[in-house]
Amino acid sequence: MNESIRFINEKIGDFEPEIGIILGSGLGELADEYCDIAIPYSEIPNFIQSTVKGHKGRLVFSNIHDKKVVMMQGRNHFYEGHTMQEITYPVKVMKQLGVKKLILTNAAGAVNEKYNPGDLMLIKDHINFMGTNPLIGQNDESLGERFPDMTEIYKEDLIQVAEKCGNELDIRLQKGVYFANSGPSYETPAEIHMARILGADAVGMSTVPEAIVANYCGIKVLGISCISNAASSSGGSKLSHEEVIETTNRAKTKFKQLILKIISEI
């Protein structure tokens, strides 16, 4: 950790980010438009590289609306074969850099039948169905406690700010529960049926590990899903990564508008 932080600090000087953003599939453009300093993950000691198409793989620092922001342009996923500890390492780095609030974004399939592709959903809670937990292993007491509380990961005050921003921009926002699978296979119709019974509104393969670690080390989390497709259902058409990218591309203008306004208000 000291090596990573020393390297990053050499690049960013006295820039101390207060807001972190992890940009999900097809949503990375924000970091192209607002980029003061960019550091490829491959250059940072102990960081791992993203292997997914459509994910760039760099840490981008920028002043946005007078707020100091650090963005992950591309995230690492559990299904790539990395460990939970590896994929959540950047959240711990953000904590060390001074980040107080973290906006997590992703593309997700709709479990809730009222949702449409292109909708944006504020995450009010999650179900960790990945079969493991990023906090397994020796605990670093300087970061957080052994058995951290998870009753309000996605902070109500941040959700309220996001809802107000959505209203003012005339962007309709859903609010629901995100259900995380390990992936990389999409779900079967029976699995989606199960997720619906368990109270899920959207399903995806990311975000939950980072949200757990951020909450554990005292970072306030806001989560936003871009609903990219109807989750697999009997009688539905086949699902592909291309469809996910195509929908997020269509939604990215309003997504960016929303994120920018949220940054100015939190």
Helix 84-97 and helix 208-216, axial crossing angle in degrees, nearest 10: 40
| Torsion sign, CA atoms 80, 82, 84, 89 | negative
Using rule CB under 6 A, residue 203 touches ligand HPA? yes
Side chain identity at residue 34, one-letter code: Y
Sole binder of ligand HPA in the list 219, 244, 259, 263 (CB under 6 A)? 244
CA–CA separation, 76 vs 262, rounded Å?
A: 24
For ligand HPA, which is the closer residue by CB, 151 or 197? 197
Residue 126 annotated as catalytic:
no
What torsion do the CA atoms of 151, 153, 157, 158 make, to the nearest 10 degrees?
Answer: -160
Query: Residue 130 corresponds to which tokens in the numbers above?
Result: 């990945």
Per rule CB under 6 A, is residue 186 in the interface with ligand HPA? yes
Verify whether residue 265 is a known catalytic residue: no
User: Which residue from 112, 229, 258, 261 is in contact with ligand HPA, where contact means CB under 6 A?
Assistant: 229
Q: Letter for the amino acid at 119?
A: D
**Residue 204 touches ligand HPA, criterion: CB under 6 A:** yes
Instruction: Report if residue 26 touches ligand HPA, rule: CB under 6 A.
Output: no
> Which of 107, 122, 153, 262 is close enough to bind ligand HPA by CB under 6 A?
107
- Nearest residue to 53 (alpha-carbon basis) of 25, 80, 29: 25
Interface stretch with ligand HPA, choices 15-23, 50-58, 122-130, 224-232 (CB under 6 A): 224-232
By the rule CB under 6 A, 231 interacts with ligand HPA? yes
Nearest distance from C-beta of residue 264 to ligand HPA, angstroms = 28
Q: Which residue has the tokens 């292997």?
A: 51
| Alpha-helical runs (H) found in 36-110 | 84-97
Footprint on this chain of ligand HPA (rule: CB under 6 A): 107-109, 186-187, 203-205, 228-229, 231, 239, 244
Active-site residue list? 25, 55, 77, 79-80, 107, 205-206, 229, 241
